[in-house]
């Protein structure tokens, strides 16, 4: 996971303020129950359940109580979880954690009953400079919990589960854990792994330690994977990666492929080339989109068109899911086919056309009102031989999608607001600022930023000068806008000011 710097929240709030003059309050705690029945084939169906997740953020943070300030991350995590939930220390166990050099640390814990952990009752605490900035948990009521001593031996359970899962137990030793159930009960379970190398399956099985019944499974083989340029990378020179299940259930509860199931179309986006039906199919079963990018040939040669559609599909969905966490939801006029009764108007996933034949060396985004699909056209760039694909320069499609964000948020979903010269310039500046936030989100301190350098084969990128905290590198001042007549140039000034602390005086 990457940790974003402070630029994006300021820009996002600026867009919201431009629309309403205030920010609609959202509940401090979000709850997302997650449960479904998984069909494993061979007539075997098992429930998959996770208790409701409770998540709270604390703005600038709350001070760590003096009673445990200065302790290690393990003690801090256990103390905070116990105090926050009013639990005895014996009912919380530390799972793991890590510390970053910038003062951030993250601790993970589990709920425990009589020394046995509850597998799906977990908690996480985020610390920043000795303050707690976020806390999440899915701890459960244990009034209906099973006896902690098993009445069925694991050796009698394993053969039945192996048969059901069509595999063999591997060398990992079984453990004993509790598993919270959808009906409020908490079952005691034998936990072990079952694999089938030939079929490529690999499960963690939870079998009731009192009845022997198969209660649930964890599928270690990801249901969806995409070889793409991660959203925090800028261009292919930084390397494509195979990402496993990058969707966020809170933003896309039915996953990214809820519409057709096996191609680059879904509830949030349709990525295609030419006709909207010309999508990329999975490269192998299990929603695996693993196509190899070849930079030595043109964008349309070999598997490169499939790489293009896959990256567009992933990038637009990842953008959707991230922005959803910040409030760009159904009721705030986002882009989704099915809004699941959560407000707004559905029927408007983003339509992203890759290697679009109507232009070169550019890209655009058309934003109609809520209820009509946004259309993003990504073009091929002809500045190099072979040519380069604009959708693989992540900052460009993110810039374009942010036009959809800003035009939907301002004007209450009408897409009519940013039409005069300076307001269109604001939109350009916001788009560059959000692109910078995404593709440099793993860099705590950004001094200079250049957009579009790879596709243009020019280290100066597509703007007249880098965005910079240095007035020598980028001397733009707000007063310069008075002499400008181009929206992109005005946008350069607006994005430049996003680089400065808002408490600073305007030069």
Q: What is the CATH number of the domain that holds 363?
A: 3.10.170.10
SS3 content of the chain, % helix, strand, coil (to 5): 25, 25, 45
Q: Is residue 26 part of a domain?
A: no
- Domain final position from 106, 137, 168: 137
CA atoms of 95 and 124, how far apart (whole Å): 10
Give the residue from 85, 106, 137 where a domain finishes.
137
- Is pLDDT at 505 greater than 60 in this prediction? no
Burial class (CB in 10 A: 0-12, 13-18, 19+), 494: buried
pLDDT of 500 > 70? The answer is no
Burial degree of 503 (CB within 10 A; 0-12, 13-18, 19+): exposed
pLDDT band at 29 (very low <50, low <70, confident <90, very high): very low
pLDDT of residue 73: 86
- The verdict on 116 and 185 lying in the same domain is no
- Cβ-contact 177, 119 below 8 angstroms: yes
Q: Residue 36 domain-assigned?
A: no
Which is higher by pLDDT, 194 or 72?
194
Residues 349 and 463 in one domain: yes
Q: Is 60 annotated as a binding residue?
A: no
Q: Name the residue with tokens 């000068």.
A: 465
Is it the case that residue 32 has pLDDT exceeding 50?
no
pLDDT tens, 292-305?
A: 999 999 999 999 99
Q: Give me the CATH number covering residue 112.
A: 3.10.450
Give catalytic residues, as residue numbers.
Answer: 400
Q: What angle do CA 307, 395, 7 make, to 5 degrees?
A: 140
Question: 211 with 265, same domain?
Answer: no
In the block, tokens 């039409």 appear at 419
Torsion of CA 271, 274, 276, 277, to 10 degrees: -100
Show the domain range for 327.
7-18+225-498
In this structure, are 452 and 379 located in the same domain?
A: yes
- Considering Cα of 357, then 358, then 359, then 364, what sign does the dihedral take? negative
How many of the other CB atoms lie within 10 Å of CB of 474? 20
Q: Write down the pLDDT at residue 4.
A: 43
Residue 205 and residue 95 share a domain:
no
Residue 147 maps to a domain: no
Instruction: Find the mean pLDDT for residues 82-92.
Output: 92
**Residue 197 and residue 229 share a domain:** no
Number of domains, the chain: 3
Q: Using the 3D structure, point to which of 219, 239, 262 is the last residue of a domain.
A: 219
Alpha-carbon distance 331 to 401, whole Å? 18
Claim to verify: residue 81 and residue 197 sit in the same structural domain = no
Mean pLDDT of 159-179: 95
Residues 130 and 278 in one domain: no
How many residues appear in the chain?
507
Q: Is 36 annotated as a binding residue?
A: no
Mean pLDDT for all residues in the chain: 83
Task: Based on the fold, state whether residues 170 and 88 are members of the same structural domain.
Answer: no
The answer on pLDDT for 376 being more than 90 is: yes
Considering the domain architecture, whether residues 444 and 345 belong to the same structural domain is answered as: yes
For residue range 217-272, list pLDDT tens digits in order: 987 765 688 999 999 999 999 999 999 889 988 898 888 987 657 899 999 999 99
223 among annotated binding-site residues: yes
Residue with tokens 């309403």: 20
Rounded to whole angstroms, the Cα distance separating 465 from 101 reads 31
- CA-CA distance, 106 to 444, in Å (whole number)? 17
User: Residues 333, 461: one domain?
Assistant: yes
Residue of 419, 337, 342, 411 whose CA lies nearest to 374? 337
Consult the annotation and say whether 492 binds a ligand: no
- pLDDT value of position 492: 62
Name the nearest CA neighbour of 255 among 240, 241, 270, 245. Answer: 245
Q: Are residues 73 and 177 in the same domain?
A: no
């Amino acid at each position: 996971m990457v940790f974003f710097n402070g630029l994006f929240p300021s820009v996002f709030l600026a867009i919201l303020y431009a629309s309403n003059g205030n920010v609609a309050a959202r509940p401090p705690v979000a709850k997302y129950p997650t449960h479904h029945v998984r069909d494993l084939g061979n007539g075997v169906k098992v429930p998959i359940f996770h208790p409701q997740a409770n998540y709270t953020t604390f703005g600038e943070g709350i001070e760590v109580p003096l009673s445990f300030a200065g302790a290690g991350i393990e003690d801090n995590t256990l103390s905070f979880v116990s105090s926050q939930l009013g639990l005895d220390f014996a009912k919380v166990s530390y799972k793991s954690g890590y510390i970053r050099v910038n003062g951030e640390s993250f601790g993970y814990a589990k709920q425990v009953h009589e020394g046995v952990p509850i597998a799906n009752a977990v908690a996480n605490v985020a610390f920043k400079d000795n303050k707690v900035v976020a806390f999440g948990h899915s701890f459960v009521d244990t009034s209906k919990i099973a006896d902690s001593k098993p009445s069925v031996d694991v050796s009698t359970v394993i053969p039945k589960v192996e048969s059901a899962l069509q595999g063999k137990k591997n060398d990992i030793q079984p453990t004993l854990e509790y598993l919270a159930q959808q009906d409020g009960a908490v079952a005691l379970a034998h936990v072990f792994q079952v694999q089938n190398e030939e079929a490529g399956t690999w499960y963690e099985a939870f079998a009731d330690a009192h009845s022997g019944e198969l209660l649930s499974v964890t599928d270690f083989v990801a249901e969806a994977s995409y070889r793409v340029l991660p959203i925090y990378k800028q261009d292919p020179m930084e390397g494509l990666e195979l990402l496993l299940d990058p969707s966020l259930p809170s933003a896309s509860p039915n996953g990214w492929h809820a519409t057709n199931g096996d191609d680059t179309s879904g509830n949030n986006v349709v990525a295609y080339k030419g006709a909207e039906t010309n999508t990329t199919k999975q490269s192998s079963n299990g929603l695996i989109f693993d196509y190899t990018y070849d930079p030595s040939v043109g964008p349309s040669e070999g598997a490169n068109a499939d790489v293009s559609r896959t990256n567009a599909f992933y990038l637009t969905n990842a953008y959707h899911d991230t922005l959803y966490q910040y409030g760009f939801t159904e009721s705030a006029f986002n882009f989704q086919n099915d809004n699941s009764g959560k407000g707004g108007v559905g029927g408007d996933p983003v339509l992203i056309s890759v290697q679009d034949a109507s232009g070169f060396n550019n890209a655009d985004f058309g934003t109609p009102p809520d209820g009509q699909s946004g259309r993003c056209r990504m073009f091929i760039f002809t500045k190099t031989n072979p040519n380069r694909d604009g959708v693989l320069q992540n900052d460009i499609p993110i810039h374009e999608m942010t036009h959809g964000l800003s035009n939907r948020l301002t004007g209450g979903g009408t897409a009519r607001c940013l039409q005069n010269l300076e307001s269109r310039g604001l939109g350009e500046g916001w788009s560059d600022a959000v692109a910078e936030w995404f593709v440099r989100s793993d860099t705590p301190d950004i001094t200079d930023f250049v957009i579009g350098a790879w596709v243009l084969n020019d280290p100066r990128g597509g703007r007249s000068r880098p965005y910079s905290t240095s007035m020598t590198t980028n001397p733009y001042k707000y007063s310069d806008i008075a002499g400008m007549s181009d929206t992109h140039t005005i946008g350069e000034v607006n994005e430049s000011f996003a680089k400065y602390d808002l408490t600073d005086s305007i030069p």
